[in-house]
A and B are shown apart, each in its own frame.
Chain A
Amino acid sequence: MNIELNGSEQINTSPANLWESVIDPVVLQRAIPGCISMTETGEGQYQMTLELKVAAVGGSFEGAVSLSEMNPPHSCIITVSGSGTLGTGGGNATVAITEGDDGNALISYQAQGEVSGLVAGVGQRILMGVAKHLARQFFTALKKEFAAA
C-alpha cells in the first residue's frame, strides 16, 4: 500500500545546527523510533536497523538510507529502502530547512512510500496513523536534542 506524509516542524536551533544533526548517525539513532543501530557506510549513505511493532506484528527492519541532492543547510532528498519480517518498503522524502523570523529552523517534508508484506496486510487500516505517530516521535526526540543543549 502507498503512504504519503507531509508536514513541517519548528526546531529551536539554527538551520546550520539542525543540518549537522540530521546527517549525524548518532543523533539520528537517538531520534528515530526503534532505531537499534545506524552506521555511516559512505558519503550520505547509512545502514540502519529498526525494531518496530505495528498492530499484532512486530519485527526487525534492515534498511539503507541515502541522502542526495544535498544543498546544505537548505534541502536534500532522503531515500529509504529495506526489508524485514514485517515486510518490504521503500520511499523518499524531500526535506527543506528554512530560517524562521526568530532565527530558528523550520523543517518541512514531503514523503511518499510503498510498503508490502505482512505490515501492509495486517496493518493497512492503521498504517497511516502509525506513520504519523512515528514521525511525531522522531520530531519530539529531535526537539529534545536541542532543548537539552
Chain B
Amino acid sequence: MTEQKYKFLSTPRRPVEDRRFVAGRGKFIADLDRPNMLHVAPLASHHAAAVINGIDASAALAMPGVVDVITGAELAAAVQPLMNGLNTPNVRRFPLAVDRVRYAGEWVCAVVAESRALAEDALEKIIVDATPQPFILDAEAALLETSAPVHPEHGSNLLLDRKFVWGPVDDDFDAAAHSLSFSVTWGRNSTVPIETFGVLAEWNGWDQMLDIWASIQMPKYADQIARSLDLPGNAIRVHYDVDVGGSYGVKRGIKHSVLVGYVARKLGCPVRLIEDRLENMRAGDAHGPERKFDITIAFDQDGTVRSMKMRALDNAGAYAGRAPFQLGKPISAIVGPYQINSVAYHALSVTTNKTVQEAVRGFGQAPTNYAIETAMDRVAKYLGMDRLALRQKNLIRKDQFPYLIPSGSYYDSGDYHAVIDKVLAAADYPAMLAERDRLRDAGMMAGIGIAACLEPSGGNSSFEPLLNQSNQTSTWMESCQVNIDALGKLTARIHTTSSGQGHETLVSTVLGEVMQIDPELIRITRPNSLESLPGNSPVGSRMAIMLGGAAARAGEKLKAKIMAIAAHRLGVAIDQLRYEGGDVLAHDGRRFTWDEMVELAHRQYHNLPDGMDPGLASFDIMQVPTGDALPVDDKVQMYPCYSFEFHLLLVSFDPIIGRPDIHSYVIGHDCGTVINPAIVSGMTYGGIAHGIGAALFEEFAYDTNGQLLTQSFLDYLMPSSHEVPAIQIVKHCTPSPHTVFGQKGSGESGYLGAPAAVSAAINDAVSGLGIHFEKLPIRMSAISDAIAAKTS
C-alpha cells in the first residue's frame, strides 16, 4: 500500500476541530456579542414581480427600540451594485430591491432595531405600496421574445448563450450507426446548512476600519465588500477565526454583508444580521442549479459512444448570481469518465422571477453527471446491452492517462476499471442481481442503479475567462505561513474560514508529515484578512490540493533553512546531512538537535550562515498546478486533478405506494492519496445523503403565482436516517502526479454521482413498464402515479 510510506498522512487521526465541536465550544456568529449591537430584519416581497410605488415606514420608526429603516433607494444611492461576473451591466443588483421586486421573498427594505424581535415586530408596520407585474417562472418560456424581461433595461432574459463545438461532432454523428435524443431536468435544490448565514459588522471611524465577522465560504469576500462600499481594501478587516456551521457553496452573503456594513457605517454601531430559516430558504444564497438538458448521443452497434450534443438551459432566477458559471465548471469533465471523441455544448442561462441561484456543491457538475449517466443507460437500453458492460467498454483505460478530453482538459490519472471491479466484488454483484430478481418475483418493483463520474478538483476558476472573455483570471492561488517560535513550537496560519472541511487537521497533518513532528503539537491560527496572504477560500474541492500544497511547500522551505543552518554549524555539505524528526544527523554520526537549531536561529545571529536572516519563518503562495494559461480556441485546462467515484445500489418499492427503500449502497472512491481518512469518508457519506435528497426529496418548488411552496422543513423534505442506508465505501488510490503527496479533491464526493445512481435504480425498477422518470427529484407521488397510469 502506498499509505505506508507516511507517518501521519492517511492514518486514522481524529480531526483537530472535532474536540471543540463535540464539546459545544465552536464559535459561531450567533455566539458573538458586541456592546450596543443593533439587529437587522429584512422585509420580504409578497409578489413575484411588482413595481414599488412607495414605502411608508413611519409607524415602524415610531416603535420603541427601532433605530432605522433602510430602503433600496437609500442603499442604491450609497453603494455600488453587487458584482455579477458577466458583461450584463443592466442586470443590476443591490442588497435591497430598488424600484421593483423580481421574486417573492426578495428583500424590500430592512429594519434596524435594538433586538431582532423588535425589528421583526416593526416589519409588520411597514406599508409597501406595490403594483404587481407580469412574471415568468419557466426557463424555456423566459427565452421567448414575447416574455417580459425580468430586467426591462437588459432587454431580454438571456444572461448567457454560448455554443461550443469540441472535435469533429458532425463527422462523428455521420459515422455513427445510431443516435438517440432525450431530455432530463435537474430540480432546484440546495445544501441546507444547519446554521443559516450570519454577519456582524462594526465601523470604527477613528481607525476608518470596518470589522466583519461572517459565516462565509466566499472567494474574494473582503474585496467585494470594499468595492461595493467604496472603501479601500485595507479598510475592511474580515475575521477568519469564526466557525461556519455548514455551507457547501451557499455561505456567500455578499448582499447581507454590504447591507450590514452600510448600516454599521451609517449608525456607528455594531450591526448583526442572522437569517432565520425562511429568509435563508427563499432569499438567502441557498438555491442551486435548475437545469434542463436536451441531449443527442451518437454511438455504434458495439456500444462505442462517439459523440454528444448537449443543450443545458439553466434557470438562474432574478439576478445573475453565480448561476451562469455553474454551466462552465462541467466543461472540465464534459465527457465524464468516458472516451467520447467530440462534444457540442450549448449553455444557456436565463433570468426568471425565482430566487437567485448561487453556488451549490459541485458547482453544476452533479446535474451534468446525471445527464451523462442517463445517456449511458439510454444507449445500453437501446442496444439491449448490459449497462455495466457499456460503461466498461467506453471508460478511459488506465494506460491512457494523462487523457485529453475534447474541451481541453487533461485528466491526470485514474484506474476506473480497477475501482469498478473492487466495487462489484465488495457488493457481490451477482448476489445483488439475484436479490433484485427475487424482490421482483415477490411483487415489488426493484432496480439496480449504477453511476460513474468524476470530481474535478483544485482548479483556477477558468470557467470565468472561458465564459467571459473580459475576465483574465489565470490564478486561484492559496497560501500558508509557518513560524517556529523561540521555544521551538510550530504555528501555521491559514487565511480563510472553514465550514467543516477540517483545514486545521489538513495543515497540521501535512506540516507534521513534512517536518516529522507530531501534528498534535502544531498550532493552527486564522488571522484576519489584513494579516493574511492571498487565498481563494475553500471552493471547488481545492483545499487538500492547494492549502495542503502550500503548507507542505512552506514546511519544505523551513526545512531547507534548518539544513543550511546545520550544514554551517557542523561544517559539512548539506548532502552529507539527513533530517530526522526535527534533528539533523551528519554522516559521521554527529547530531544537531532541534533545540540547538532554534536557539541559533532566534538568538545567535553570529552562528548563522553569512547573509541568512534570523528567525524561523516561511510562507508559500501556491499557483494552481497545470493552471497557467487562459483559454485558447474555447479550450482550457480547468482542473489539475480528477477524482473518480463509482456508485452501485439496490432499490425496491411497493408498486402502489412507490416509496423507495434503498437496500444496499456501495461506492468506490479514488481521490488519490488521502490526508485524513475520517474527513474523506465523512464527505462521502454526507455527499451520498445529499445526493439521495436531490434524487428523491429536495426541491424549491413554486406555485403558479410564483410563490415558493417549499420554504420550511415541513415542505422542503430532506433525507433522514430512515432514508439513508448504511453505505459501504470501497477505497482505491491512484495518486495525482500534480500534487505534493498525490492527493486529489474529495469535498464533493458522493454528491456528484448519487443523484444519477439513485435515478438509475428507480428507472431500472420501472423499465419493464416503459416508464422513464425525466426529472429530479423523483417523488414517491410521481412514482406511484406513473405506475398507476401504466397499469390501470
Contacts and interface: CB of A to CB of B under 8 A. Distances in A.
A120 B278 CA distance: 13
Nearest to B705: A116
A56 B712 contact: yes
B124 A116 contact: no
Contacts of B715: 122, 124-125
A122 B705 contact: no
Contacts of A56: 278, 712
A7 to B, nearest CB: 25
Say whether chain B's binding surface is mostly helix, strand, loop, or mixed: loop
B709 A124 contact: yes
A117 B706 CA distance: 9
Interface string B115-135: 000000001100110000000
A20 interface: no
Given A85-B123, A87-B46, A116-B47, A122 B712 contact: yes
A118 B705 contact: no
Interface string B703-745: 1011111111011000000000000000000000000000000
Nearest to A122: B712
A116 B278 contact: no
A120 B707 contact: yes
Contacts of B282: 121
Given A88-B47, A121-B708, A122-B712, A59 B703 contact: no
Nearest to A59: B124
Contacts of A120: 703, 705, 707, 709
B104 interface: yes
A117 B703 contact: no
Interface in B99-153: 104-105, 123-124, 127-128
Contacts of B46: 83, 87-88, 116-118
A60 B124 contact: yes
Contacts of A84: 124
Contacts of B711: 121-122
A60 B126 CA distance: 11
B705 A1 contact: yes
A55, A87, A114, A120 pick with most chain B CB within 10 angstroms:
A120
Interface string A61-98: 01000000000000000000001110110000000000
B86 interface: no
Contact of B705 (A59, A85, A114, A125): A114
Given A83-B46, A88-B47, A1 B124 contact: no
B757 interface: no
A57 B46 CA distance: 14
Contacts of B44: 117-118
A114 B105 CA distance: 18
Contacts of B712: 55-56, 122
B707 A121 contact: yes
Most chain A CB inside 10 Å of its own CB: which residue of B127, B705, B708: B705
Interface residues of B, number: 22
Interface string A121-134: 11011000000000
Nearest to B707: A120
A117 B105 CA distance: 8
Contacts of A118: 44, 46, 278
A64 to B, nearest CB: 13
A116 B707 contact: yes
B709 to A, nearest CB: 6
A122 B709 CA distance: 7
Interface string B680-703: 000000000000000000000001
Nearest to A60: B124
A62 B124 CA distance: 10
Nearest to B704: A1
B124 A117 contact: no
Contacts of B105: 121
A73 to B, nearest CB: 36
Interface in B34-49: 44, 46-47
B752 to A, nearest CB: 30
A56 B711 CA distance: 11
A67 B449 CA distance: 61
Contacts of A83: 46, 128
B423 to A, nearest CB: 41
A88 B104 CA distance: 12
A53 to B, nearest CB: 12
A60 B124 CA distance: 7
B188 to A, nearest CB: 14
A42 to B, nearest CB: 21
Contacts of A125: 714-715
B709 A121 contact: yes
B707 A117 contact: yes
Given A1-B707, A84-B124, A120-B703, 4 more contacts: A87-B46, A117-B104, A120-B705, A121-B707
Give the 3 A-B residue pairs with the shortest CB-CB distance, closest first: A117-B46, A85-B124, A120-B707
Interface of B: 44, 46-47, 104-105, 123-124, 127-128, 278, 282, 703, 705-712, 714-715
26 contacts: A55-B712, A57-B278, A59-B124, A60-B124, A83-B46, A83-B128, A84-B124, A85-B124, A87-B46, A88-B46, A88-B47, A114-B705, A116-B104, A116-B706, A118-B44, A118-B278, A120-B703, A120-B705, A121-B104, A121-B282, A121-B711, A122-B711, A122-B715, A124-B703, A124-B709, A125-B714
